[in-house]
Amino acid sequence: MDLEQFSLKGRTAVVTGGASGLGEAIARRFAAQGAHVFILDRNGEGAEAVASSLRGNGSGADAVVADVTDEASIKAATDLAVSRTGRLDVMVNMAGIAVTRRIVDLDEALIDNLYAIHLKGTIWGAKHAIRVMTELGIPGSIINCASAAMDQAAEGLSIYSAMKAAIATFTRTAAREAGKLNIRCNVISPGLIVTAMTQRHGVEENGQFSEAKMAAFIDGVKKFNALDRVGEVDDIANAALYLATDASKYVTGQILRVNGGLSMV
Protein backbone atom coordinates (compact mmCIF):
# COMPACT_ATOMS: atom_id res chain seq x y z
CA MET A 1 0.00 0.00 0.00
CA ASP A 2 1.34 3.42 -0.98
CA LEU A 3 0.92 5.66 2.05
CA GLU A 4 1.88 8.66 -0.09
CA GLN A 5 -1.73 8.54 -1.25
CA PHE A 6 -2.63 10.04 2.13
CA SER A 7 -0.27 12.98 1.72
CA LEU A 8 -1.49 16.56 1.28
CA LYS A 9 1.95 18.02 0.74
CA GLY A 10 1.83 21.05 -1.52
CA ARG A 11 -1.96 21.28 -1.39
CA THR A 12 -4.27 23.94 0.00
CA ALA A 13 -7.33 23.24 2.12
CA VAL A 14 -10.08 25.51 3.43
CA VAL A 15 -11.94 24.34 6.53
CA THR A 16 -15.03 26.17 7.77
CA GLY A 17 -15.77 26.00 11.48
CA GLY A 18 -12.06 25.37 11.97
CA ALA A 19 -11.66 27.22 15.26
CA SER A 20 -12.96 24.35 17.37
CA GLY A 21 -14.44 20.87 17.46
CA LEU A 22 -14.47 18.73 14.35
CA GLY A 23 -13.27 21.55 12.11
CA GLU A 24 -10.22 22.14 14.27
CA ALA A 25 -9.39 18.42 14.36
CA ILE A 26 -9.61 18.23 10.57
CA ALA A 27 -7.47 21.33 10.10
CA ARG A 28 -4.80 19.88 12.38
CA ARG A 29 -4.82 16.52 10.60
CA PHE A 30 -4.54 18.16 7.18
CA ALA A 31 -1.67 20.36 8.34
CA ALA A 32 0.13 17.33 9.77
CA GLN A 33 -0.11 15.74 6.32
CA GLY A 34 1.45 18.74 4.62
CA ALA A 35 -1.46 20.95 3.61
CA HIS A 36 -1.55 24.72 3.89
CA VAL A 37 -4.78 25.20 5.82
CA PHE A 38 -7.09 28.20 5.82
CA ILE A 39 -9.17 28.14 8.99
CA LEU A 40 -12.48 29.91 8.49
CA ASP A 41 -14.64 30.82 11.45
CA ARG A 42 -16.76 33.63 12.85
CA ASN A 43 -14.60 33.29 15.94
CA GLY A 44 -11.52 35.08 14.68
CA GLU A 45 -9.64 34.76 17.95
CA GLY A 46 -10.21 31.01 18.06
CA ALA A 47 -9.26 30.60 14.40
CA GLU A 48 -6.03 32.54 14.93
CA ALA A 49 -5.17 30.43 17.99
CA VAL A 50 -5.42 27.25 15.90
CA ALA A 51 -3.52 28.77 12.98
CA SER A 52 -0.78 30.09 15.26
CA SER A 53 -0.42 26.66 16.86
CA LEU A 54 -0.05 25.03 13.44
CA ARG A 55 2.50 27.59 12.29
CA GLY A 56 4.43 26.93 15.49
CA ASN A 57 4.69 23.31 14.37
CA GLY A 58 6.06 24.36 10.99
CA SER A 59 2.82 24.08 9.03
CA GLY A 60 1.30 26.64 6.69
CA ALA A 61 -1.86 28.07 8.21
CA ASP A 62 -3.98 31.20 7.99
CA ALA A 63 -6.95 32.29 10.06
CA VAL A 64 -9.81 33.96 8.20
CA VAL A 65 -12.83 35.57 9.84
CA ALA A 66 -15.76 34.46 7.70
CA ASP A 67 -19.50 33.97 7.98
CA VAL A 68 -20.65 30.91 6.05
CA THR A 69 -24.16 32.33 5.72
CA ASP A 70 -22.80 35.19 3.64
CA GLU A 71 -21.83 34.21 0.09
CA ALA A 72 -19.54 37.20 -0.37
CA SER A 73 -17.61 36.19 2.74
CA ILE A 74 -17.00 32.68 1.42
CA LYS A 75 -16.08 33.93 -2.04
CA ALA A 76 -13.53 36.30 -0.51
CA ALA A 77 -12.08 33.50 1.63
CA THR A 78 -11.62 31.08 -1.27
CA ASP A 79 -10.11 33.83 -3.40
CA LEU A 80 -7.74 34.67 -0.54
CA ALA A 81 -6.56 31.05 -0.37
CA VAL A 82 -5.77 31.13 -4.08
CA SER A 83 -4.04 34.50 -3.92
CA ARG A 84 -1.73 33.33 -1.13
CA THR A 85 -0.97 29.78 -2.27
CA GLY A 86 -1.94 29.69 -5.94
CA ARG A 87 -4.41 26.84 -5.52
CA LEU A 88 -7.36 25.28 -3.71
CA ASP A 89 -7.45 21.49 -3.51
CA VAL A 90 -9.80 20.71 -0.64
CA MET A 91 -12.90 22.45 0.73
CA VAL A 92 -14.37 21.19 4.01
CA ASN A 93 -17.76 22.63 4.95
CA MET A 94 -17.84 21.75 8.63
CA ALA A 95 -19.35 24.84 10.29
CA GLY A 96 -22.55 24.12 12.15
CA ILE A 97 -24.56 24.44 15.32
CA ALA A 98 -26.87 22.05 17.13
CA VAL A 99 -30.07 23.19 18.83
CA THR A 100 -32.52 20.86 20.52
CA ARG A 101 -36.07 22.14 20.23
CA ARG A 102 -39.37 20.26 19.99
CA ILE A 103 -41.51 21.00 16.95
CA VAL A 104 -44.21 22.81 18.94
CA ASP A 105 -41.55 25.19 20.24
CA LEU A 106 -39.95 26.06 16.90
CA ASP A 107 -39.90 29.64 15.69
CA GLU A 108 -38.97 31.25 12.40
CA ALA A 109 -35.73 32.76 13.67
CA LEU A 110 -34.39 29.37 14.78
CA ILE A 111 -35.40 27.67 11.54
CA ASP A 112 -33.83 30.42 9.43
CA ASN A 113 -30.60 30.30 11.46
CA LEU A 114 -30.16 26.54 11.12
CA TYR A 115 -30.99 26.73 7.42
CA ALA A 116 -28.52 29.55 6.82
CA ILE A 117 -25.60 27.99 8.71
CA HIS A 118 -25.98 24.39 7.64
CA LEU A 119 -27.50 24.34 4.17
CA LYS A 120 -26.70 27.78 2.75
CA GLY A 121 -23.22 27.62 4.28
CA THR A 122 -22.57 24.30 2.58
CA ILE A 123 -23.96 25.54 -0.73
CA TRP A 124 -21.76 28.66 -0.75
CA GLY A 125 -18.68 26.66 0.22
CA ALA A 126 -19.27 24.10 -2.53
CA LYS A 127 -20.16 26.73 -5.13
CA HIS A 128 -17.01 28.75 -4.70
CA ALA A 129 -14.76 25.73 -4.32
CA ILE A 130 -16.06 24.39 -7.64
CA ARG A 131 -15.64 27.83 -9.20
CA VAL A 132 -12.03 28.20 -8.09
CA MET A 133 -11.02 24.60 -8.82
CA THR A 134 -12.53 24.86 -12.29
CA GLU A 135 -10.78 28.15 -13.03
CA LEU A 136 -7.45 26.66 -11.96
CA GLY A 137 -8.01 23.28 -13.59
CA ILE A 138 -7.17 21.53 -10.32
CA PRO A 139 -8.66 18.15 -9.34
CA GLY A 140 -10.41 18.82 -6.06
CA SER A 141 -12.27 17.33 -3.14
CA ILE A 142 -15.27 18.90 -1.42
CA ILE A 143 -16.28 17.40 1.92
CA ASN A 144 -19.61 18.29 3.51
CA CYS A 145 -20.95 17.40 6.95
CA ALA A 146 -24.20 15.57 7.66
CA SER A 147 -25.15 13.71 10.84
CA ALA A 148 -26.39 10.35 12.06
CA ALA A 149 -29.49 12.30 13.10
CA MET A 150 -30.64 12.27 9.46
CA ASP A 151 -30.94 8.47 9.54
CA GLN A 152 -33.13 8.09 12.60
CA ALA A 153 -35.69 10.17 14.40
CA ALA A 154 -34.54 12.01 17.51
CA GLU A 155 -36.83 14.22 19.56
CA GLY A 156 -35.91 17.86 19.35
CA LEU A 157 -33.78 17.56 16.22
CA SER A 158 -36.38 17.92 13.46
CA ILE A 159 -34.89 20.97 11.72
CA TYR A 160 -31.27 19.96 12.38
CA SER A 161 -31.96 16.51 10.90
CA ALA A 162 -33.78 17.99 7.92
CA MET A 163 -30.85 20.29 7.14
CA LYS A 164 -28.37 17.42 7.36
CA ALA A 165 -30.47 15.26 5.05
CA ALA A 166 -30.66 18.16 2.62
CA ILE A 167 -26.86 18.50 2.68
CA ALA A 168 -26.51 14.83 1.77
CA THR A 169 -28.88 15.20 -1.18
CA PHE A 170 -27.23 18.42 -2.31
CA THR A 171 -23.83 16.74 -2.23
CA ARG A 172 -24.90 13.92 -4.51
CA THR A 173 -26.07 16.44 -7.09
CA ALA A 174 -22.84 18.42 -6.70
CA ALA A 175 -20.88 15.22 -7.28
CA ARG A 176 -22.78 14.61 -10.51
CA GLU A 177 -22.28 18.16 -11.78
CA ALA A 178 -18.62 18.46 -10.80
CA GLY A 179 -17.47 14.94 -11.65
CA LYS A 180 -16.56 15.69 -15.25
CA LEU A 181 -14.33 18.46 -13.91
CA ASN A 182 -12.47 15.90 -11.76
CA ILE A 183 -13.90 17.41 -8.58
CA ARG A 184 -15.18 14.94 -6.03
CA CYS A 185 -17.95 15.73 -3.52
CA ASN A 186 -18.64 13.55 -0.51
CA VAL A 187 -20.31 13.66 2.88
CA ILE A 188 -19.08 12.68 6.33
CA SER A 189 -21.97 11.77 8.62
CA PRO A 190 -20.77 11.63 12.24
CA GLY A 191 -22.46 9.87 15.09
CA LEU A 192 -22.07 11.29 18.58
CA ILE A 193 -18.60 12.81 18.84
CA VAL A 194 -17.50 14.30 22.14
CA THR A 195 -16.88 18.01 21.53
CA ALA A 196 -17.81 21.27 23.21
CA MET A 197 -21.04 21.28 21.18
CA THR A 198 -22.20 17.97 22.65
CA GLN A 199 -21.80 19.30 26.18
CA ARG A 200 -25.30 20.76 25.88
CA HIS A 201 -26.63 17.29 26.69
CA GLY A 202 -25.20 17.63 30.19
CA VAL A 203 -26.87 20.93 31.03
CA GLU A 204 -29.54 20.83 33.73
CA GLU A 205 -32.77 22.86 33.62
CA ASN A 206 -31.13 25.44 35.89
CA GLY A 207 -28.43 26.01 33.27
CA GLN A 208 -25.66 24.28 35.22
CA PHE A 209 -23.51 21.60 33.61
CA SER A 210 -23.76 18.16 35.23
CA GLU A 211 -21.04 15.56 34.70
CA ALA A 212 -23.48 12.89 35.84
CA LYS A 213 -26.12 13.93 33.32
CA MET A 214 -23.55 14.02 30.53
CA ALA A 215 -22.24 10.57 31.48
CA ALA A 216 -25.77 9.19 31.53
CA PHE A 217 -26.41 10.61 28.06
CA ILE A 218 -23.22 9.07 26.69
CA ASP A 219 -24.06 5.71 28.26
CA GLY A 220 -27.47 5.88 26.61
CA VAL A 221 -25.93 6.46 23.17
CA LYS A 222 -23.36 3.71 23.66
CA LYS A 223 -26.13 1.16 24.12
CA PHE A 224 -27.22 1.72 20.52
CA ASN A 225 -23.70 1.71 19.05
CA ALA A 226 -22.32 -1.54 17.66
CA LEU A 227 -18.85 -0.56 18.91
CA ASP A 228 -20.13 0.29 22.41
CA ARG A 229 -18.42 3.69 22.50
CA VAL A 230 -18.91 7.25 21.35
CA GLY A 231 -16.67 8.91 18.82
CA GLU A 232 -13.61 11.11 19.14
CA VAL A 233 -12.66 14.05 16.93
CA ASP A 234 -9.81 12.03 15.43
CA ASP A 235 -12.33 9.55 14.05
CA ILE A 236 -13.78 12.32 11.90
CA ALA A 237 -10.38 13.84 11.07
CA ASN A 238 -9.19 10.47 9.75
CA ALA A 239 -12.29 10.12 7.58
CA ALA A 240 -11.81 13.62 6.21
CA LEU A 241 -8.17 12.88 5.40
CA TYR A 242 -9.22 9.84 3.38
CA LEU A 243 -11.78 11.82 1.40
CA ALA A 244 -9.36 14.71 0.85
CA THR A 245 -6.50 12.67 -0.57
CA ASP A 246 -5.72 10.49 -3.56
CA ALA A 247 -6.56 7.47 -1.43
CA SER A 248 -10.21 8.14 -2.32
CA LYS A 249 -9.70 9.29 -5.90
CA TYR A 250 -12.49 6.97 -7.16
CA VAL A 251 -14.97 7.97 -4.44
CA THR A 252 -17.61 10.63 -5.06
CA GLY A 253 -21.26 11.24 -4.20
CA GLN A 254 -20.94 9.03 -1.13
CA ILE A 255 -21.96 9.32 2.53
CA LEU A 256 -19.27 8.06 4.89
CA ARG A 257 -21.07 7.24 8.11
CA VAL A 258 -18.60 7.48 10.99
CA ASN A 259 -20.95 6.55 13.79
CA GLY A 260 -19.78 3.37 15.50
CA GLY A 261 -22.68 1.44 14.02
CA LEU A 262 -25.35 3.72 15.48
CA SER A 263 -27.14 3.48 12.14
CA MET A 264 -26.43 1.09 9.29
CA VAL A 265 -28.10 2.29 6.13
% of the chain surpassing 70 pLDDT: 97
Pair 243, 159 in one domain: yes
What are the pLDDT digits (tens) for 32-77?
999 999 999 999 999 999 999 999 999 999 999 999 999 999 999 9
Inside any domain, residue 2: no
For 230-241, write each residue's pLDDT tens digit: 889 999 999 999
| Same-domain check for residues 252 and 218 | no
Is the pLDDT at 115 greater than 80, yes or no? yes
Predicted confidence at residue 95, as pLDDT, reads 96
250 has catalytic annotation:
no
Q: What is the pTM of this model?
A: 0.93
Residue 264 maps to a domain: no
Please provide the size of the chain in residues.
265
CB 96 within 8 A of CB 118: yes
Residues 224 and 111 in one domain: no
The mean per-residue pLDDT over the stretch 171-194 comes to 96
Q: How many domains does the chain have?
A: 2
pLDDT of residue 38: 98
Is the pLDDT at 6 greater than 80? The verdict is yes
Which CA distances in Å does 70 have to 73, 79, 101, 167? Answer: 5, 15, 25, 17
**H or E element that contains 14:** strand 12-16
pLDDT band for 213, please (50, 70, 90 cuts).
Answer: confident
Same domain as 91, residue 68:
yes
Q: Residue 216 belongs to what domain range? A: 194-230
What CATH number should be reported for the domain holding residue 87? Answer: 3.40.50.720
- Residue 127 pLDDT: 98
Residue 203: what pLDDT? 67
Is 172 found in the same domain as 61?
yes
* pLDDT value of residue 177: 97
Q: Would you call 127 helix, strand, or coil by DSSP?
A: helix
Torsion sign (Cα): 146, 149, 151, 155 = negative
- Answer yes or no: do 23 and 116 share one domain: yes
Helix axes 21-32, 44-56, angle to 10 degrees: 20
Band (208; pLDDT cuts 50, 70, 90): confident
Same domain, 155 and 110: yes
Assess whether pLDDT exceeds 80 at residue 11: yes
Inform me whether the pLDDT recorded for 188 exceeds 70: yes
For residues 250 and 146, state if they share a domain: yes
Please tell me which residue in 115, 160, 242, 250 is annotated as part of the active site. 160
Distance of CA 139 to the CA centre of its chain: 20
